Chain A
Amino acid sequence: MLQHALLVLLLPLASAAVIALCLRRSGGIASILSTLTAAAIAGFALLLALNNERFSESFEWLRLGNFALSIGFKFDDLAALMLVIVGIVGLCVHVFSLGYMHEDAAKARYFGGLSIFMFSMLGIVFADNLFMMFIFWELVGFSSYLLINHWHENAAPAAASKKAFIANRVGDFGFLLGIVMCYWANGTVNFTELATKADTHALVISTAIPLLLFCGAVGKSAQLPLQVWLPDAMEGPTPVSALIHAATMVAAGIYMLCRINVLMVPDALTVIMWTGTATALYAALCAIVQSDIKKVLAYSTLSQLGYMVAAFGLGSLTFSHAHGTDTHTVVLAAGVGAAMFHLTTHAFFKALMFLGSGSVIHGCHHEQNIFRMGGLAKKMPFTFVTFTLGVAAIIGFPFLAGFFSKDAILYLAFANNKAVFAVLALTAVLTSLYMVRLWKITFLGAPRSDAASHAHEGGLALTAPLLVLALLTVIGGYTGIYPDVFSGVFDLIPEAHGSDHTVILLTSLAVMVLGAGASLTLYGCSATDSLQQKSPGLFGALTGLQLSFDRGYEYYVAKVQQRFALFLNFLEQIFLAGLIVRGLAGIVGLVGLGARALHVGRLNVYVYWFLLGIVILWIYATFNF
């Protein structure tokens, strides 16, 4: 109900405010307060979602003339699903952080940041109009900035946080223009009103609006060409990477697209589909050559986000039903269903793997290079088992969560666009390849460093969240076990039948086995990358591909933007500041008063001069107008 929703939204804000104002020096209390808040959010989220109460309500926030901006709650099945994901993953990450950040000096700032993030993210979930979504959209960007920059005394996090915010701002430039354009075209940006207009065919059809709005998703969900910020964002603490840069915030772009599904037109969907497909493939290629455990997961996240965006872009499915003599066609918004389904399962298994990597990093005393690990299966058996489940899920091992959601996307691609299907299948091979590589090098073989040989499991705070997420990774793909409460989303998931079903199933199994098999044979448990040794050319090409965007942007910033700025600054200083003011001073000198008489402390002279000026001007004005 509304009161609960308001409470869910405002609790983390209150928690952040209390931490900022009173608990700056008491990290212990701050962490407990923030975690309790997260627990309350998770509790209310389940209560709201499972009670099957859906509502929408809005309050005016600002009015000027005919323009009104509201803060509103649209709580339908889509929002309920997202709320549950944010609530559960959020709680897991908070609990994990209790252990992971236990000895951090700035614990209060960290947990305050998490609370701000929860507030901002929940605002996106509840938002009933685009302006409100934009507001919280910017706020999640801000909390992401804060948390990436947690260890600000190092240069890398400081640079990464700045990069993340600016890349997002570039996306938001388009997003904001899209919102404004949608407002003037349709007179509203409220999701419900837009849907009503679409039903009555009163909606203004335009390709520019959905494409501009998609820019927001390109920034937030790190799609090509703005993906560069996400791998760098791994400079933040690992639980933050799990919550913000894997499970929830980066998925907000997909959530937003599903919200504005009614505005989509075929041309826009094509662009979205190919952007997602390209991102999926590009990131999978980059992931193969990473040696930092978090970077592998980051590129994997990019790739999976590309999957979701591609799924959305693949659009709807049309079925023909024969009822006796007349057939009628049913259009299913399968893109929304498949994208949201994969978002859900991905949130669970990717959060699981990120927290698992956090457990590994914690166990190995902040070692992140997988080639300096090895043999962790024996040292950290619990982490090993849960991480293995995560890997199995993402590569589409049968009957785990990722298997179902990936098949849904592959089927949709198979039905709507064979080229996309081929690329996504290839991506799935690569996914299987780099995930098994990561898994084998990290956990199997013998320890290759002191840190790895002394690795140990963390406490209950670190293992309990892994257990919960592992459980969800196992059962998360069975939409049947969710009660009817999310049917508004899950009914949209495309399901293959007949021969299509066989094709998809075989493809999916084949790509998994192919990638995993290649990986198991190619990579040994050694301290060097086997691909780099066996095929340095290919390895170098992939590294070059990974760096190409960063190099391009660095060139632009240093050689184009900065030089242009310096050039304009030069003009500013020389022409405007130099010439014009000298000219004016000359005029004043001509009048005969001299600059000296009217400045610095000689108030009486100034006043006389001023009064004389008024008289002259008065006379001038009286005669000339």
Chain B
Amino acid sequence: MSTLPFDPLLAAIFAPLAVALAIACGLPKRFSVKLAYVGFGLPLLLALHVWFYYGTAAQTHGYAFLTSYSTGLDSLGIGLKLGLNGISLPLFVLAGIVGFAAGIYAIQSGAERLKIYLMLLLVMQGGLMGVFASVDIFFFYFFHELALIPTFIMVGIWGGRDRNYAAMKLTIYLTLGAMLSLIGLIALYVKSGAHSFDLIELRRVIAAQPFEVTVQHNIFGLLALGFGILVSLWPLHTWAPLGYGAAPSSAAMLHAGVLKKFGLYGLIQIAIPLLPAGLIQWSHPLAWLAVVGNVLVIGFVTIAQRDLKQMVGYSSVMHMGYAFLGIAAGSTLGVGGVVLLMVAHGLSVALMFLLTTSVYHRTHTFALDEMGGLAQKAPVLSALFVAATFAGIGLPGFANFWGELTIFVALWKFSPLITILAVAGVVISAVYGLRAAARVFFGPASPEFTKIAAEHPVSDLRWSERFPALILLAALMFIGFWPKSLSTALDATLSPAPAAQVGASK
């Protein structure tokens, strides 16, 4: 049982926000940096704390650590209600870990206008903790926007190549996605007649009086489309490789790693339990888009990339295909697999973006053809990169494997044909992953890299890069070796909910 004298969820949300506020109020730079460690460290510690005590914590309506605060908007049914169930706990922990890694990487990055950069990252971090701790849909959405806006700004100011175009595209797509899903959420609120955004209350009301089937179809469609854009469902994914290609590494880590999971989380936590008929209606189109578009087409597009960062961006789009497939398959197994994959992908893609930047600092290019032989000069970087690559292609021992495996098993029951196509993706990801690793690290150095290495002596990974990378890798392997650390809570939440089983009965 948690013995903290305060609410750990509220503290995890407001610690980074408070630090961001302090920095905004003009705290000198050296204090800002020190305080930023606290701002990123506290959410991690609190996340680990609730992870550890979740099993023994008292549960109310399936949520642990449940608390609510009045917001003065009670008449609209809006209250700040925080709590964690088996679905949100893994993502809350993910946000804590990736936020900390991205944060300390940013602190050491020596970015220009570091204070503002850290402030924005801290706001993002606070928003991320809030997204997954909110039981209230209004705040769930609010925290998402709170985290999203700094992303646009960071891409626009600290971005790399094409940053203005990327920032614009990112903003248009993600705002559109967010808007569509907002319409869906508002429709849910209005149609349910619950006069509450509280998910627990909504569930109770809808269980007593389910929506008509057509209403479910429409709302689910809106949510799937809106959330789909946010999670880069093909063909609405084009913002992702471009945006991540341009984004500064910590922002890419937080967005691709954590914030992007908002859409999937919304589908799993809200849409599937409340709109079971909607899932059945949409599961086949969703699955076909995901398997043909995200997995196969984008898989081949990833093979064609010659720019390392673009390749990572596209591979992330491809892996989101598996997540949609798990959702389409429904059932405890499929949906549980999606949650496992979300956590695993969040950790591994954050690691990949971090290491890609580290590679860039040594090669001064992202062009795969102009690298080679980096392993001789940076063995630790190469070992970590190879580990991250194998995590990404679903090697057992890393968390990603469990997500992919459970999704494949669940998917067979849904459609063997789609499963066959989806499993073909594991070969595709091995092709591009290993090819990139070989081009960057192995074999003799390319003439271009030899020249650059002569001008800028190449050193191995510094501790400021190594430490956040090791945290992410350790988390991937911890879950990889002990999947029950997440799946027990997940199973307890998903199994009793009959709504999640609907997909399975198809």
Contact = CB atoms under 8 A, between A and B. Distances in A.
Given A62-B487, A67-B332, A152-B441, 19 more contacts: A62-B402, A62-B483, A64-B337, A64-B406, A64-B491, A66-B332, A153-B444, A169-B427, A565-B301, A568-B304, A576-B238, A581-B169, A585-B168, A599-B167, A600-B157, A601-B153, A606-B171, A614-B182, A621-B186
Interface stretch (B5-13, B65-73, B199-207, B412-420): B412-420
B304 A566 contact: yes
Contacts of A61: 483-484
B168 A569 contact: no
B367 interface: no
Interface string A606-622: 11001001100110111
A138 B393 CA distance: 11
Given A568-B297, A599-B152, A180 B408 contact: yes
B242 A625 contact: no
A183 interface: yes
Contacts of B176: 584
Interface string B489-502: 01100110000010
A174 B300 CA distance: 20
B396 interface: yes
Given A153-B373, A180-B412, A577-B242, A135 B401 contact: yes
Interface stretch (A33-41, A155-163, A283-291, A317-325): A155-163
A463 interface: no
Interface in B470-506: 483-484, 487-488, 490-491, 494-495, 501
Contacts of B427: 166, 169-170, 173
A131 B303 contact: no
A183 B431 CA distance: 28
Interface in B359-391: 373, 375-376, 390
A173 B145 CA distance: 40
Nearest to A17: B477
A64 B331 CA distance: 9
Nearest to B390: A142
Contact of A64 (B153, B390, B444, B490): B490
Contacts of B304: 562, 565-566, 568-569
A62 B431 CA distance: 29
Contact of B182 (A170, A588, A617): A617
Contacts of A607: 149
Interface of A: 60-67, 69, 131, 134-136, 138-139, 142, 145, 149, 152-155, 157-159, 161-162, 165-166, 169-170, 172-173, 176-177, 180-181, 183-184, 561-562, 564-566, 568-569, 572, 576-577, 580-581, 584-585, 588, 595, 598-601, 603, 606-607, 610, 613-614, 617-618, 620-622, 625
A216 to B, nearest CB: 13
Interface residue tally on B, bucketed by range:
35 or more
Interface string B167-210: 11101110110010011001100110000000000000000000
A152 B443 contact: yes
A64 B305 contact: no
Given A184-B413, A566-B304, A572-B301, A599 B438 contact: no
Most B CB atoms within 10 A — which of A173, A184, A607?
A: A173
Contact of A598 (B171, B337, B405, B490): B171
Contacts of B484: 60-63
Main secondary structure of the interface of A (DSSP, over half): helix
A139 B395 contact: yes
B215 A625 contact: yes
B426 A67 contact: no
B494 A169 contact: no
Contacts of B420: 177
Contacts of B171: 598-599, 606
A360 to B, nearest CB: 27
Given A64-B337, A177-B423, A581 B442 contact: no
B273 to A, nearest CB: 15
A87 to B, nearest CB: 23
A131 B434 contact: no
Contacts of B501: 65
A621 B219 CA distance: 11
Contacts of B300: 561, 564-565, 568-569
Nearest to A156: B443
Contacts, number: 200
A63 B487 contact: yes
Given A64-B494, A153-B373, A617-B182, A173 B303 contact: no
A594 to B, nearest CB: 10
A561 B9 CA distance: 49
B340 to A, nearest CB: 8
B419 A64 contact: no
A625 B211 CA distance: 12
Nearest to B159: A600
Contact of B430 (A169, A595, A606): A169
Given A599-B164, A600-B167, A131 B405 contact: yes
B57 interface: no
Contact of B396 (A66, A138, A584): A138
A65 B426 contact: no
Nearest to A164: B434
A507 B291 CA distance: 55
Given A61-B484, A601-B157, A621-B190, A165 B336 contact: no
Contacts of A621: 183, 186-187, 190
A599 B174 CA distance: 12
Nearest to B331: A65
A595 B409 contact: no
Given A577-B238, A595-B168, A610-B145, A176 B413 contact: no
Nearest to A175: B423
B77 to A, nearest CB: 14
Contacts of B239: 581
A65 B333 contact: yes
14 contacts: A61-B483, A63-B488, A63-B491, A67-B332, A135-B397, A153-B373, A158-B443, A165-B430, A165-B434, A170-B427, A564-B300, A581-B169, A595-B172, A621-B187
Contacts of A172: 426
Interface in B281-309: 297-298, 300-301, 303-305
B447 interface: no
Nearest to B382: A152
A11 to B, nearest CB: 16
B475 to A, nearest CB: 16
A620 B182 CA distance: 11
B62 interface: no
B186 A617 contact: yes
B456 interface: no
B168 A568 contact: no
Most B CB atoms within 10 A — which of A562, A588, A601, A621?
A: A621
Given A565-B301, A566-B304, A600-B156, A65 B430 contact: no
A61 B487 CA distance: 10
Nearest to A116: B397
B149 A603 contact: yes
Interface string B426-439: 11001100110010
Most B CB atoms within 10 A — which of A166, A181, A600?
A: A600
Contacts of B438: 158-159, 161-162
Nearest to A607: B149
Given A135-B401, A158-B438, A184-B413, A620 B183 contact: yes
B487 A64 contact: yes
B55 interface: no
A181 B412 contact: yes
Most A CB atoms within 10 A — which of B152, B182, B301?
A: B301
Contacts of A565: 300-301, 303-304
B442 A158 contact: yes
Contacts of A173: 423-424, 426-427
Contact of A154 (B167, B401, B434, B444): B444
Contact of B190 (A155, A600, A622): A622
